[in-house]
A and B are shown apart, each in its own frame.
Chain A
């Protein structure tokens, strides 16, 4: 149920995001979901990609610092209040959200959230118990 996310260190300099996405794009790696977190002087790009191992190797070959992290992808109803009711379930499960990001598929009307919890296993158990659809892969097409 856990998905592998690639996290990439980006320094605060123009062209760095473009460089990394071009390296992956040129190799035919599709970006399924992404989020960019930033502090005052650096950023961390978080990606769900079509081929984790290939992407990792490419990044390493290009001298890009990255790490792989387990995350959970959760499908929610794409309507007002959808996130709020999901977060209530998470709170009830007694876990904390380290970070999260969302994406939606316009053609199908489906939406999903990527979560990194302080305790992924405990979160997964809680979500499944509440009947939430935890995705095996991020492909809402």
Chain B
């Protein structure tokens, strides 16, 4: 297919940097003209797009954070007219309102391109039959992977998430050679296949592309041993584009960032200072080609490091280490992004008083379980069991509605949740690392 599509993966660093600068300057100019938020932010920082003379000038420009998206909900940071926007996606935000992202026709092409490069870098070709078990819908995973797979020319099976029995039937009957899902869901498939009396080793499945939640090298080994496939890590977030920001190659020594579109920096999360290559810190992206939502210096809160040495696969694109930590309190539960503050607002809404609560995360096999322990306040206590069970159900349903997660709600006595002198402890993560 379009072999020149993949040439960008092998550009010499000087050509790449000059391409990055040219694209970044054009985008800064455009964003400055079109997005009042950035015009004000630049003014406050005392800079104009003209101050970006080299890539090393980038550090002078202000950061963008998740709350900026929330404050300009839903479309306030768009740099394109809605008439030019052909697609909207959204992910859970910090306080109930989702984080909304938009794509122009060019953005969809760019997204398909980076996803096609992703699949190409792990050796997926048009001969492959690919089962896409990422959720289709507002979540970027399903459609993002879908367009990339079609661009490669694969035979795509748009399964979306869930329906485990059907997934296994399709996997066997349609002869899927590759699958896209969260790593924990794939482990669930391995286990369910075993219960149904077969091994994924006896299917045609050879490759898995796993993302949307952190997973370790031990998990990779386990998946590969138990299913006989080669497991690849993929990274992305909707604020950048969705999946397709970076991906393992066949050398599996870090994920190559498609930096001709997404310019990465590593900063000290406490000071904002840019750190040298190889240092661990917070990953920041500037979207240098996007049209609808080209965020500048967007703080991902993901902690990783960047490695510029040439990879064994021959790609010159920078590699990022697996993300295992964050610089904020975001949790990832069954691939869903979750902030304790979201649960807090649900409880506040239902109980009408400031809640005392604790989120307890456990792992049952490979699947995450979320338990919300909440202290019963005198204001909501009733002598009737059915009223208290109704309270549990309302909390459960509201969380389900907001996050799509089914949580176990446990009512506890006042004072049962430990108070610490400073910040309340809201999370007890008992999950073994995946």
Contact = CB atoms under 8 A, between A and B. Distances in A.
Contact of B382 (A5, A64, A67): A67
Interface stretch (B35-43, B325-333, B383-391, B426-434): B383-391
Interface string B234-261: 0000000000000000000000000000
Given A9-B411, A41-B411, A46 B383 contact: yes
Contact of A67 (B381, B389, B413, B414): B381
Interface string B355-395: 00000000000000000000011100111110011000000
Interface residues of B, number: 17
B354 interface: no
A57 to B, nearest CB: 13
Contacts of A10: 413
Contact of B383 (A16, A39, A63, A69): A69
A71 B376 CA distance: 23
Interface string A76-91: 0000000000000000
- B interface SS class: loop
B410 interface: yes
Interface string A1-21: 000010101110100100000
Contacts of A37: 385
A9 B389 contact: no
Contacts of B413: 9-11, 16, 63-65
- Looking at A5, A16, A44, the one whose CB has the most chain B CB atoms below 10 A away is A44
B170 interface: no
Contacts of B383: 5, 7, 44, 46, 67, 69, 116
Contacts of A66: 378, 381
Given A65-B377, A65-B378, A67-B378, A11 B385 contact: no
Given A39-B388, A44-B388, A65-B376, A11 B416 contact: yes
Nearest to B408: A41
Contacts of B416: 11, 13
Contacts of B411: 9, 11, 41-42
A69 B377 CA distance: 17
A98 interface: yes
Interface in B402-423: 410-416
Interface string B300-312: 0000000000000
B380 to A, nearest CB: 9
A111 to B, nearest CB: 23
Contacts of B388: 9, 39, 42, 44
Given A9-B376, A9-B411, A65 B381 contact: yes
A16 B411 CA distance: 14
Nearest to B415: A63
Contacts of B378: 65-67
Given A39-B388, A44-B388, A65-B376, A11 B412 contact: yes
Contacts of B410: 11, 41-42
Contacts of B384: 44, 98-99, 116
Contacts of A11: 410-413, 416
A136 to B, nearest CB: 21
A39 B378 CA distance: 19
Interface in A26-43: 37-39, 41-42
A13 B388 CA distance: 17
Given A9-B376, A65-B378, A44 B385 contact: yes
Nearest to A5: B383
Task: List 8 tightest A-B contacts by C-beta distance, closest first.
Answer: A7-B383, A11-B412, A69-B383, A11-B413, A65-B381, A63-B415, A42-B411, A9-B376
Given A39-B385, A42-B412, A63-B415, 9 more contacts: A7-B381, A44-B383, A44-B384, A65-B378, A66-B378, A66-B381, A67-B381, A69-B383, A99-B384
Interface of B: 376-378, 381-385, 388-389, 410-416
24 contacts: A7-B381, A7-B383, A9-B376, A10-B413, A11-B410, A11-B411, A13-B412, A38-B385, A41-B410, A42-B376, A42-B410, A44-B385, A63-B415, A64-B414, A65-B378, A65-B381, A65-B413, A65-B414, A66-B378, A67-B381, A67-B382, A98-B384, A99-B384, A116-B383
